[in-house]
Amino acid sequence: MKLEIFRTLWGYSASKAQALDELLEAGFGGMEARLPLEARERAEFGAFLKANELAYISTVFTAYDVLPEQSASPTEHLLDLDKKLAWAAELNPRFVNVLAGNDRWPLAQQVEFFGQAMALARKHGQFCSFETHRSRSLFNPWLTLELIRQLPDLRFTSDISHWVVTCE
């Protein structure tokens, strides 16, 4: 097994070309970036990745951006995820990092949601890892632990800082 380290573009404001130069100089193996939502932007980004032989981790948000639309139902989150996983597949990512769900849902709804989200990942042939994040379903360690117990195949991207903010 070989450890690969990816450069995130989270909060990055310069161009992707500049990010590429920086990540290659620093020895990164690839780039993590938000999934482009417009078809033209996805096509351009896909061409950029291919031309530079760059490995990619796609970041996807359900309903609809970093913080979820509070009125969006689990069904809306799943429909949004279904659409975005199809788009992500166009870019052949190493995996998809998903910020999913809503912290307002009860546990049973969370379990059902993540079971269906994993089914969508299989449908689209994508490996999905779900990020711990405030205001999202994985907003605290106790709920996340219970989800692990009930859905042992669920995989996570751990951003512990959000648990610190939520639990402090």
Residue 147 falls within a domain, yes or no?
yes
pLDDT band at 1 (very low <50, low <70, confident <90, very high): confident
* pLDDT of 165: 87
**The pTM is what?**
0.95
Residue 19 falls within a domain, yes or no?
yes
Q: What percent of the chain has pLDDT over 70?
A: 100
Q: The domain containing residue 71 runs over which residues? A: 6-167
Residue 1 falls within a domain, yes or no?
no
- What is the number of domains present in the chain? 1
Residue 36 falls within a domain, yes or no?
yes
- 12: preceding bond cis by omega (within 30 degrees): no
Rounded Cα gap, residues 33 and 97, in angstroms: 9
Average pLDDT (24-45) is 97
10 C-beta neighbours (distance < 10 Å), count: 11
Q: Which CATH number belongs to the domain containing residue 56 in this structure? A: 3.20.20.150
90 C-beta neighbours (distance < 10 Å), count: 15
